[in-house]
A and B are shown apart, each in its own frame.
Chain A
Amino acid sequence: MPTAEKTLDEILTLAAAHFKVPREKLSPDDDFFKTLGIDSLQALDLLTKLENHFHVELPDYELQGVADFRTLAGKIQARL
């Protein structure tokens, strides 16, 4: 199982690639809606990408109120 830090790093890398944002512009505590400039449909795309990458199923009700990469990584880590 990857470490929490590695999971977080992979999420940041995936998000940067998917939304074509320089990786160095993303920080773990960023509000990803604001930093990536995405809406809820694009957030669902990101969720699907992450589920496919980590081979996990992440019910979206567990993401209520989650807007930063670090908390998101914790939710994914709990399912690995």
Chain B
Amino acid sequence: MKQYQGQTISWDLRDGVIEMALHREPLNEIGSQTLEELEKFVGVLDALTHEAHALIIYSTLKGGFCAGADLRQLYGWFQEFGQSEVARHAREYLERIHAVMNALDAAPLTTIAAVHGVTFGGGFELALTCDMILADKLARFCFPELRLGLIPSFGGIPRLKRDVGNAVVRDLLLTGRSFNATKAQQIGLVSQIVGEGEVLRAARATASQMAKFDRITTQSAKRFMKPIPLDELRREIDIFCELLPQPAVHAGLKKFVENTTAQPYLP
């Protein structure tokens, strides 16, 4: 399936590069529909890699790359399954999203996240699965989960720890603050910063450069440079599911979902 046009994502394989576009309004919140379409992508990834050497993930939405997990859906699970069963349902969901993220992380081609604007929570975690992150100079990153009484659950902490020092990890996680592309580059998360509206072009140029190298060598180098922290990823799911039934989480989600002010993305 070289081309796919879905409800939340689409992809197109052309000239050895797969371009995956995220396009779920309002800001690419990752819920069940996105997960199903990402699973569809991962299911055909092996076939696609016969013809592709690179994958670019980007957003077509003006507001940014991705605001993270679909918190309205998570809140809905509390109503649907009740406080006692919500963790069991969340675990099933997380097992699936981790399988997708791990497959993207280990994909036998070079992966580039081309991000702009809001790159928060699950969106940041999706970007962290990629081999490199290229950022528009107005990109902004954040792990806001502790504001809700939770921790990131799509692999964020283990992958952040893989890439940056623990002092930075603790600062970003424990304050829930957002930070810009310059800071992200200073701490080693972003490899290139480009002008406004230029990130997809830069990602294409980078993918084109990578096509010059032997694919077997590139894949070997990637496996050597980027081990997947599987044990910590498992532990992350456990901790998230332990925290989820806490009353503070339900209260935090309720506050977010019912927030009608113009400031839900500010702390």
A51 x B266 contact (CB < 8 A): no
Measured as residues with beta carbon below 8 angstroms from the partner, the interface class of chain B is: 20 to 34
Main secondary structure of the interface of A (DSSP, over half): helix
Chain A residues whose CB sits within 8 angstroms of the CB of B137 once the complex forms: 48, 52
Residue A16 is within 8 A (CB to CB) of chain B in the complex: no
Please choose the segment from B124-132, B179-187, B212-220 that sits at the chain A interface, where 4 or more of its residues have CB less than 8 A away. B179-187
Q: Which residues of A contact B (CB under 8 A)?
A: 33, 38-41, 43-45, 47-49, 51-52, 57, 59-61, 63-64
A44 x B177 contact (CB < 8 A): no
Residue B38 is within 8 A (CB to CB) of chain A in the complex: no
Chain B residue, CB-CB nearest to A44: B140
Residue B117 is within 8 A (CB to CB) of chain A in the complex: yes
Residue B265 is within 8 A (CB to CB) of chain A in the complex: yes
Contact of B263 among A33, A57, A61 (CB under 8 A): A33
Residue B225 is within 8 A (CB to CB) of chain A in the complex: no
A44 to B117, CA, bound (A): 9
A38 to B181, CA, bound (A): 22
A52 x B180 contact (CB < 8 A): yes
A41 x B64 contact (CB < 8 A): yes
Contact bitstring B223-267, A, C-beta under 8 A = 1, else 0: 000000000000000000000000000000000000000111111
The 5 sampled A-B contact pairs (Cβ below 8 Å) are: A38-B262, A39-B263, A47-B140, A47-B180, A60-B177
A61 x B267 contact (CB < 8 A): yes
- How many A-B residue contacts, CB cutoff 8 Å? 57
Residue B138 is within 8 A (CB to CB) of chain A in the complex: yes
Chain A residues whose CB sits within 8 angstroms of the CB of B266 once the complex forms: 40, 43-44, 60, 63-64
A36 to B266, CA, bound (A): 17
Chain A residues whose CB sits within 8 angstroms of the CB of B267 once the complex forms: 60-61, 64
A59 to B180, CA, bound (A): 10
A45-B117 CB under 8 A given contacts A40-B263, A60-B178: yes
Residue B16 is within 8 A (CB to CB) of chain A in the complex: no
Chain B residues whose CB sits within 8 angstroms of the CB of A44 once the complex forms: 117-118, 140, 178, 265-266
Residue B33 is within 8 A (CB to CB) of chain A in the complex: no
Contact bitstring B160-198, A, C-beta under 8 A = 1, else 0: 000000000000000111111111000000000000000
Residue B63 is within 8 A (CB to CB) of chain A in the complex: yes
Chain B residues whose CB sits within 8 angstroms of the CB of A60 once the complex forms: 177-178, 266-267
A25 to B63, CA, bound (A): 26
How far apart are A32's CB and chain B's nearest CB, in angstroms?
11
